[in-house]
Amino acid sequence: MRDLSWSDVTPETVYLRRRQLLAGAAAMSVAPLAAALAPLEFRADRTPPVDEVTPEPIASSYNNFYEFGTDKAAPKKHAAQLTTDPWSVEVSGEVAKPGRYDLADILKPHVLEERIYRLRCVEAWSMVIPWIGFPLGDLLRRFEPTADARYVAFTTLYRPSEMPGQRSLWSGIEFPYVEGLRLDEAYHPLALIAVGMYGKVLPNQNGAPLRLVVPWKYGFKSIKSIVKVRLTKRQPRTTWNESAPREYGFYANVNPDVDHPRWSQKSERRLPSSLFDQNRIPTLPFNGYGDEVARLYAGMDLRKYY
């Protein structure tokens, strides 16, 4: 499908998809979010399908979201406890327009797009998911980063009363969960703030109401339920880099030539799979998005900056 300009008329099929998104919002009892999405334009997919899309029940029930537990089924089991209304995002650091922005304020200037992306987890399983969202760079530019801004840091909601994994001693990580990108990575047009998937509002277990999707990086560069965005001069701390620096670097680019200390990264298990059919496929550099993003790392030793 060709790229659409901002002035193009929304095709009927996309319009119906948008209507499905709003219907999904109402069905999920998130009326304020549905109201915030209602006036938004929704445009056609800018990224054509790359592989067969993962069935929605798998993508919404097999998750890493340690705030709800370390088991893959724990997020769906416990995420209904999460309250996403009201929701706001605190913006700070090297920006001209800091402040606390309500969810409606975050959403209303943006055009929603559906993008079908691969998501490969560092544990060597992968999915192909149709996300709904808008470019991260468009959001960051609204806050007018200063000339000193070099990185962007994100923080996940910390609410142990609703997120039982934050009360557990078994996760091995410190909460709240934090993540970061170099600013040129964040500005890349493939980096997405997702508010939905499969034509519906984002489920709690998948990171509602706002999550990050960076398709050329491992699944752990996909911070969920974002409540803070901070622009910084210096490289920010990230949860996995601090918890296990030998295993997880700051950049976290998908690289089949750099093995994880405990397993190979040369292949991945594409879901759905089974005991008798592992559905193994070769892992591609930058998750197959090398033509678009390799220039960001020109001259870098990606074995050192993993």
Please, what is the Cα angle at 123 between 118 and 129, to 5 degrees? 20
Name which of 11-15, 21-25, 82-86, 100-104 the model is least confident about: 11-15
Nearest 5°: CA angle at 117, between 222 and 54?
100
Does the domain at 12-296 match CATH 3.40.50.11540? Answer given as no
CB 4 within 8 A of CB 44: yes
d(CA 279, CA 105): 42
Is pLDDT of 3 > 80? no
Contact 193, 210 (CB under 8 A): yes
- Average the pLDDT over 229-248 and give the result: 93
pLDDT tens digits, residue range 36-89? 555 545 454 444 455 799 999 999 999 999 999 999 999 999 999 999 999 999
Answer whether residue 1 shows pLDDT above 50.
no
pLDDT of residue 122: 83
Which single residue is written with the structure tokens 């769906």? 76
Of 32-36, 93-97, 126-130, the least confident:
32-36
* pLDDT value for 24: 47
CB burial string 64-94: b at 16+ within 10 A, e below? bbbbbbeeeebbbebbeebebeebebebebb
Cis ω before 176 (30° cut-off from 0): yes
Compare 192 and 262 and report the one with higher pLDDT.
Answer: 192
Q: How far from 191 is each of 18, 151, 213, 270, CA to CA, in Å?
A: 21, 14, 6, 22
Confidence of residue 127 (pLDDT cuts 50, 70, 90): very high
| Per-residue pLDDT band at 34 (split at 50, 70, 90) | low
- Non-local (6+) Cβ contacts of 75 within 8 A are 63, 64, 65, 68, 69, 204, 205, 206
Categorize the per-residue pLDDT at 219 as very low, low, confident or very high, splitting at 50, 70 and 90.
confident
